[in-house]
Amino acid sequence: MKLFKIQILATALLIVSACSLEEEPYGFYSEENFLNTPGDAESAISYAYDALTFLEYSRTVFLVGDMPTEEAGPKQDASIDRHELNEWTVQNFSTNSSLVNFFKYAYIAINRSNYILDQLPAAQFDEDVKNSYLGEAYFLRAWNYFNLVRNFGRVPMHTSYVQTLDQTAAPIAGSIDEVYDLIISDCLKAIELLGVQQRLGRADKVAAQSLAAKAYIFIASAKEHGVPQYTDMSRDVSAMYDSAAYFSGEVLFNQSQYTFDDNLLDIYDVDQADGPEHIFIMSMDRSGTIEGDYSKISKLFIPYVAGGDIYMADGDGSYTVSHDGWSAFITNDAFYNSFQDDDIRGNLLMVDAVYDANGNEVASYPDNGLLYPFSRKYIDPEFIGDKTSTKPFLIRYTDIALTYAEAVGPTAEGYNQINTVRNRAGLGDLTPGLSVIDFREAIWQERAWELSFEGNRLYDLRRFKRVASVVPNAAGLSDEETTFYPLPQVETNLNKGLGD
């Protein structure tokens, strides 16, 4: 297998830091590299996936998806960029380091995907093998553009591999339709080329169908709720809901690899990363040598207690051990109290007491030394120091089941999907006979509880145009300010293709 000569330089679009305009772009392959064998293609696609695990990108799944919402806030001595996100300090967003990194690494992943899409078709080896790699590259490009459009709206459009600095200038999309045209087109190509094959850290046909469903439901609900730029889209709302229903229905009814996990704790068991819920999940393992190969994501959610091991009750008389944390994501009281009393997701997945190895309480919230109740979705009992196998859950089966229910509305099958989610959480069935509006409202609320701390909440708030009404720190901001972050200032300074 040929090894790629990867140049470790700065990125192709955000590529030059504001303080060093002489720095060269990175994320490029040497021009001596060609995709001649399946081994070459495997190296190239692994390199593309690897961009997702960069520390500055993987953590922003939560910093961007959860920190600016009603779920949580940063600790007092957190970095300024986290406080800016949480406090909606919009005047600083164009230079916010978390947003800059999110933008930058999305384009690194896009550029690595574009290399495969540009170079691999000419390779002379088995077409089926080649198509599987092309399908993954299409998915990855769509995935990263979906992240970009949900955060920045119209963004520069790069559909070819960028190899030199003079190729980095790209015009901004003429409309939000143009970005979604590419996302959906790439999803359709990935669906055509890929089969159903669950692999840790990799995408398959079901992941591409899921992404298409997520894109269509975002368009449908955003346009229906009058979200800026989405109201100008040429697409019909009803047709978008129908498309979301079709692709999510393909996931629910036309494959057998993925389904609901019966046990909530099993979903978040790091040793069950191949469980039935996990359609697309990052590949991180405690055996890795550098962060990104392994994960410290657990440290973000767990509060600092006493610096040693802590134990959490499993609800059956047993306990699960974890290391102490950094108190980086402090759960907001109002969100914690929003769970119904008998909701397992609030009682078991939100931890309000920790114990020692003998089951004796060490600290509890709010009166006995536990700073805040925390999510136990990111726990690795086999941690090695700070190294864990915890990882972001990028696409989960339940997300797509709720997408289907939202799309089809209060039909028998729509009710069946949300009731399955509620019953697993220990809740009764949703009130029957709801209107379409009230049913979709119930789905929106169910997603808040079910997908909490998984990087989804901001996007659900945005597509329903509710950031300003739900997040206290965003009150008084305009719809445009809460729907889209500005392009990073370094991008607007350096990308000559953006125009004036």
What is the secondary structure of 71-138 as a DSSP string? SEEE-TTS-HHHHHHHHT-GGGGGG-HHHHHHHHHHHHHHHHHHHHHHHGGG--S-HHHHHHHHHHHH
Please check the confidence at residue 28 and state whether its pLDDT lies above 80.
no
Which residues make beta-bridge pairs with 321? 311
| 385 backbone φψ class: left, alpha, beta (φ>0; ψ -120 to 50) | left
Tell me, what amino acid is at 19? C
pLDDT category of residue 4 using cuts at 50, 70 and 90: very low
DSSP 8-state symbol, 393 = E
What pLDDT is stored for residue 152 in this prediction? 98
Tell me the per-residue pLDDT of 222-231, one tens digit each, with 9 for 90 and over. Answer: 999 999 999 9
Q: How confident is the model at residue 166 (pLDDT cuts 50, 70, 90)?
A: low
DSSP 424-455: HTT--PPPTT--HHHHHHHHHHHHHHHTTTTT
What the chain holds in terms of domains, given with CATH numbers, is 1-175+466-500 (1.25.40.390), 293-390 (no CATH), 397-464 (1.25.40.900)
pLDDT in tens, 272-285: 999 999 999 999 99
**Residue 403 is encoded by which pair of tokens?**
């997408």
Residue 477: CB atoms within 10 A of its CB come to: 15
User: What's the mean pLDDT in 317-325?
Assistant: 95
Contacts of 151 (CB under 8 A, 6+ apart): 64, 99, 102, 103, 484, 485
Q: Which of 31-35, 121-125, 362-366, 439-443 has the lowest mean pLDDT?
A: 31-35
CA–CA separation, 446 and 418 (whole Å): 8
- As a whole number, the mean pLDDT across the chain is 91
The yes-or-no verdict on residue 16 having pLDDT over 60 is: no
Least confident of 165-169, 290-294, 491-495: 165-169
- Per residue in 41-92, pLDDT (tens digit) is 999 999 999 999 998 899 999 999 999 999 999 999 999 999 999 999 999 9
What is the percent of the chain where pLDDT is above 90?
Answer: 87
pLDDT band at 20 (very low <50, low <70, confident <90, very high): very low
Average pLDDT of span 2-20: 33
User: Which residue from 143, 153, 220, 156 is spatially nearest to 186, judged by alpha carbons?
Assistant: 143
| Sheet architecture: strand order including 319-322 | 319-322, 310-313, 353-355, 361-364
SS3 281: strand
Q: How many CB atoms lie within 10 A of CB 336?
A: 20
Mean pLDDT of 472-500: 88
Would the pLDDT of 180 be above 90? yes
DSSP three-state, residue 499: coil
Contacts of residue 494, Cβ cutoff 8 Å, sequence gap at least 6? 15, 16, 168
Amino acid 253 reads F
Residue 23 has pLDDT above 70, yes or no: no
State the burial class of residue 31 (Cβ atoms within 10 Å of its Cβ: 0-12, 13-18, 19+): exposed
Residues pairing with 388 in the sheet:
295
Look at residue 10 and tell me whether its pLDDT is greater than 60: no
Please, which pLDDT band fits residue 499 given cuts at 50, 70 and 90?
Answer: low
pLDDT, residue 19, reads 30
Which pLDDT score is estimated for 2? 31
Residue type for position 470: V
- At 201 the three-state DSSP class reads coil
Q: Please report which confidence band the pLDDT of residue 163 belongs to, taking 50, 70 and 90 as the band edges.
A: confident
Asked if pLDDT for residue 31 goes beyond 90, the answer is no
Instruction: Give the per-residue pLDDT at 271.
Output: 94
Mean pLDDT, residues 126-149: 97
Residue 385: the pLDDT is 93
What lies within 8 Å, CB to CB, of 485 at 6+ separation is 93, 96, 99, 151, 152
pLDDT at 306: 80
pLDDT in the model for residue 349: 97
Contact 42, 51 (CB under 8 A): no
Strand runs labelled E in 232-287: 278-281
CA–CA gap between residue 357 and residue 206 (Å, rounded): 41
Provide the β-strand partners of residue 259. Answer: none
Helix (H, G, I), strand (E, B) or coil at 386: coil
Using DSSP's 3-state secondary structure scheme, residue 289 falls into coil
Token pair 């159903």 in the structure block, residue: 196
Global pTM reads: 0.93
What pLDDT digit, counting tens, does each position of 356-415 carry? 999 999 999 999 999 999 999 999 999 999 999 999 999 999 999 999 999 999 999 999
Give the closest residue to 285 by CA, choosing from 295, 275, 272: 295
